[in-house]
Structure 1
Amino acid sequence: MRRVRVSSHHSPVQKLGDSDMKLTPRFRLAGTTSPSSTEPEQQPPWEMPLIPGLPDDAALNCLLRLPVEAHGACRLVCRRWRHLLADKARFFTHRKAMGLRSPWLFTLAFHRCTGKIQWKVLDLDSLAWHAIPGMPCRDRACPRGFGCVAGGYSTDQFELDSAEVLDPVNGVWQPIASMGANMASSDSAVVGGRLYVTEGCAWPFFSSPRGQVYDPKADRWEAMPAGMREGWTGLSVVIDGRLFVISEYERMKVKVYDPETDSWDPVDGPPMPERIMKPLSVSCLESKIVVVGRGLHVVIGHVKKQSSCDYLVRWQDVEVPRAFSDLTPSSSQILHA
C-alpha cells in the first residue's frame, strides 16, 4: 500500500466573473514515492530466448538443423547462437542428444603430385564439401583402405591366404580360418551375414578370377559360385539385400547378382557419367550408390526397384571444387552425425 499525505486548504472566496478566479481541488494528494518508469527492463544476453516467441527446446531443435556452411553467418545473430554454433563438437553433441543424424561421406584421398593424404567430407544432405584436420602421419603415403583384412600381399610380395578380424570390445585383431587360397582380394561385400571376397578380373583375362565366401558362424571358407566370381568385374555395394557391381569394363554399367540363377542381370538406366574416372571408391546409403572418382568427382546413383528382380538407376552429379582436381580417392565411408 502506498502512503499519501493529505492536506487541506481553503480557497479564497472570489466573485463570479473575476478573471483571477481559479478552480482548485478541495484536497490535494501528494505521493511520497516517484512514479515508476515505463521503460522495459533489459534482459542479460544469456537470458534472451534463442528465438523470440519459441521455447528454448523448440528453438534448439530448429537451430540444430542448420547446415554447417551456414554457421558462419548465423553466429553473428547473438551471443547464444555464437555459443552454440562456434564449437562443432558442442553442436554435434547436442544433435546426438536429440537423436538428429545426417549422412556424411568421408573420403580419404592423396595428392597425386605430393603424395600427401587428407580427408574431405561431403554433407550428403546439402551436398556441400568440408575439410577436417590432417592425419598425424608421414608426408608421403599411399593408404590402402581400412576394415576387415583378408588375403593381400606379404612383405616379399607373395599372395596370402590368411584372414583377421577386429574384436571391437578388446580392440585387438584376431586370426580366423585360412582362406584356403592365396589371393590378393580387390573387393568384398557382406550379404546375408556372409563375407564374399573376390580378387576381381584383370586385363587381358588370361586366368579366371578366384573368390571365397566366409561363414562367421562356422568359421569356414568355401569357394564362391562360378557365375558370381566370373561376373564380379568391379566395385560392389549391397542394396535391398542384393549385390550390385559397377563394372569397370562395360562402360561403367551397373548390374545385380541373382543367386538363384548364379548370374548377373543388367540394371536399367544410363551408364555412370564419363567424367567419373578410375580409381573409384564406392559406398551406399539406403537405396543410393555414392561413387567417388579421380579429382573427387562424386555421382549419386538413385536405385529404384521396378519389379521383383528388375532395378533402375538414375545418376545425380555433385559439384566439386576445382582445388580437388589433383586428389585421388583411396577409400570412402558414409557415417552419420
Structure 2
Amino acid sequence: MELVNDGTESSNGVDEAEITNSPLIPGLPDDISLVCLARVPRRYHPVLKCVSKRWGGLVCSEEWVYYRKKHKLDETWIYALCRDTLDKLLCFVLDPTSSRKCWKLIRGLPPRTMKRKGIGFEALGNKLFLLGGCGWSEGVIDEVYSYNASLNSWVEATSLSTARCFFACEVLDEKLYAIGGIGQNSSDSWDTFDPCTNGWTSRRDPNIIPEVEDSVVMDGKIYIRCGKYPVTPHVYLVYEPSSDTWQHADADMVSGWRGPAAVVEGVLFVLDQRSGSRLMMWHKERREWIPVGKLSPLLTRPPCQLAAVGKSIFVVGKGLSTVVVDVGDLGDVGRVMTGSSIPKLDSDYDVISCKCLAI
C-alpha cells in the first residue's frame, strides 16, 4: 500500500528493478537457465520473447547469438531478395528445419530501397544488409540498411565509402565486402565493413572491372566473375587477403563457372542454366568439372539462385520455387539425391539473391 501511495513513478521504478534482478527461471542460476533456453529451436524464439522482458532481452542479445554459435546450437535460415511484377523489392525467409517448409514474407523493408536496382544483399552475424543501388531519380546510392533478425526490424546503417550499384557482396573473416560495380569511383574499387569499428575502408585495384556478375567465398578467398562488356569472355578474379590484392583466378576452375554458385564443405557447385538446369561440381584433385545431375524442369523455374545449408543446396527459382539437393554423398560417382521440393508462391517473383543467416 505504501508503494501505491508514493505514486505511479515509484511503483514503475520498483517494477523495473524487480524485472532486471529477477532470475530468468525461478530457482535456477542464470547461466544454467541460458543452457536450457538456448536449446529451444529458433522458430520458437518469438514465443520466448513474449514470456517476459528478461527473456525478450536475452533472445535479442549478442550473448544469446554468441552462446548458440559457440555451442553449435545456431540454426541457418535462408533469406531471398526478390522483385515483383511491379518492380518492387520484397524479402522472404525460409526455415529449412520446419516440417512444413514455406517461404514467409518479411515486412517493413525500408521504403527508400524498394524501387532501387542493382542493390547489394548480404548477411553478417545476425543481420542482413541492403547496400547501395540506383534509381532513375536518385542516381547511384551509398546508403546501407540492416535487418536485425533477432529484433525483426530494419534500421539505417553506416553508409558505404563509395556509392555503387550492380556490385558483388561477400563476407570474409567476419567483414563485409562490397566489390566493383557501377558508380563514379566504384569500377576498380572495393569497400570493407568492420562491425567492430562500425566503419568502412576503401581500396582500389586495377584488376577489378565494373561488370561484376557473381561471387563466392572458398578456401578463405573471394572469387568474382565479371562480364567484360562488350567483349564476350568473362574475367575471373580472386582476392588474396594476405596481400590485399586481386589476381586472375585459376583458368581450369573458372572454365565451368557459368551460373550461380554455392560452396558446400569447401567444394564449389555451379548451376549451369544454359540448357535446362544442370548441377556441376568442381573436383579439386582431378582439376575438372563433374556433372552431378540434371534437375527436373517441372520443379525448377530459371533463372535460379543457390543457397547452401549443411550438406544441402537449395535451388531457388522464379516464384520462389525451391528444390533441395543433398550433395553429402556424391563421392567420385556423381550420385545426387533430391531430398524435397517446395512449391512456388502464387506470384512469379524474380529472385535476385539468396543469403544464409544463422542464429
Instruction: Confirm or deny that 1:161 pairs with 2:188.
Output: yes
Instruction: Confirm or deny that 1:151 pairs with 2:124.
Output: no
Counterpart of 1:276 in structure 2 is 300
Which AA in structure 1 matches 2:224?
Answer: V
Structure 2 residue aligned with 1:194, among 211, 221, 240? 221
Counterpart of 1:103 in structure 2 is 76
Q: Deviations over 1:64-87 (max 9, x none)?
A: 746848989xx9xxxxx97369x9
Q: Secondary structure at the match of 1:295?
A: helix
Q: How does 1:295-314 map to 2 (within 5 A)?
A: 295-307=319-331, 309-314=332-337
Q: Secondary structure at the match of 1:234?
A: coil
Query: 1: distance between equivalents of 2:210 and 2:97?
Result: 39
Q: Secondary structure at the match of 1:186?
A: strand
Q: How does 1:2-21 map to 2 (within 5 A)?
A: none
Counterpart of 1:116 in structure 2 is 88
Structure 2 residue aligned with 1:289, among 296, 310, 313? 313
Query: 2: distance between equivalents of 1:89 and 1:106?
Result: 24
Query: 1: distance between equivalents of 2:120 and 2:334?
Result: 29
Q: Deviations over 1:26-85 (max 9, x none)?
A: xxxxxxxxxxxxxxxxxxxxxxxx9xxxxxx89x9599746848989xx9xxxxx97369
Q: Secondary structure at the match of 1:276?
A: coil
Counterpart of 1:131 in structure 2 is 105
Whether the 8 Å contact between 1:278 and 1:294 is mirrored in structure 2 is yes
Q: CA deviation at 1:106?
A: 1.4
Whether the 8 Å contact between 1:257 and 1:264 is mirrored in structure 2 is yes
Query: 2: distance between equivalents of 1:181 and 1:64?
Result: 44
Counterpart of 2:51 in structure 1 is 83
Q: Deviations over 1:224-246 (max 9, x none)?
A: 22222332100111112121111
How has the CA–CA distance of structure 1 residues 321 and 198 changed in structure 2, closer, same or farther, with 3 Å as cutoff?
closer
Query: 1: distance between equivalents of 2:344 and 2:270?
Result: 28
In structure 1, the gaps of 5 or more residues are: 1-49, 51-56, 76-80
Query: 2: distance between equivalents of 1:168 and 1:109?
Result: 26
Q: Deviations over 1:258-302 (max 9, x none)?
A: 3455431212x4425444223322111121111221111122111
Q: Deviations over 1:82-107 (max 9, x none)?
A: 7369x977766697587343221112
Identity %: 24
Q: CA deviation at 1:120?
A: 1.3
Q: CA deviation at 1:168?
A: 2.5
Counterpart of 2:117 in structure 1 is 142
Whether the 8 Å contact between 2:306 and 2:316 is mirrored in structure 1 is yes
Larger Rg: 1
Query: 2: distance between equivalents of 1:261 and 1:98?
Result: 40
Counterpart of 2:212 in structure 1 is 185
Q: How does 1:12-91 map to 2 (within 5 A)?
A: 61=36, 65=40, 68=43, 83=51
Q: Deviations over 1:200-240 (max 9, x none)?
A: 699xx973221111111012222122222332100111112
Whether the 8 Å contact between 2:178 and 2:191 is mirrored in structure 1 is yes
Query: 1: distance between equivalents of 2:42 and 2:191?
Result: 39
Query: 1: distance between equivalents of 2:248 and 2:351?
Result: 31
Query: 2: distance between equivalents of 1:312 and 1:84?
Result: 49
Structure 2 residue aligned with 1:315, among 338, 342, 359? 338
Task: Name the one with the larger strand percent.
Answer: 2
Structure 1 residue aligned with 2:270, among 245, 253, 277? 245
Whether the 8 Å contact between 1:299 and 1:317 is mirrored in structure 2 is yes
How has the CA–CA distance of structure 1 residues 335 and 266 changed in structure 2, closer, same or farther, with 3 Å as cutoff?
same
Query: 2: distance between equivalents of 1:259 and 1:97?
Result: 33
Deviates more, 1:87-96 or 1:253-262: 87-96
Query: 1: distance between equivalents of 2:216 and 2:256?
Result: 14
Q: CA deviation at 1:187?
A: 1.2
How has the CA–CA distance of structure 1 residues 130 and 312 changed in structure 2, closer, same or farther, with 3 Å as cutoff?
same
How has the CA–CA distance of structure 1 residues 110 and 226 changed in structure 2, closer, same or farther, with 3 Å as cutoff?
same
Q: Secondary structure at the match of 2:319?
A: helix
Structure 2 residue aligned with 1:327, among 332, 345, 349? 349
Q: Secondary structure at the match of 1:228?
A: helix
Q: Alignment RMSD, CA only?
A: 4.1
Query: 2: distance between equivalents of 1:262 and 1:175?
Result: 35
Query: 1: distance between equivalents of 2:225 and 2:204?
Result: 17
How has the CA–CA distance of structure 1 residues 283 and 133 changed in structure 2, closer, same or farther, with 3 Å as cutoff?
same
Q: Secondary structure at the match of 1:210?
A: strand
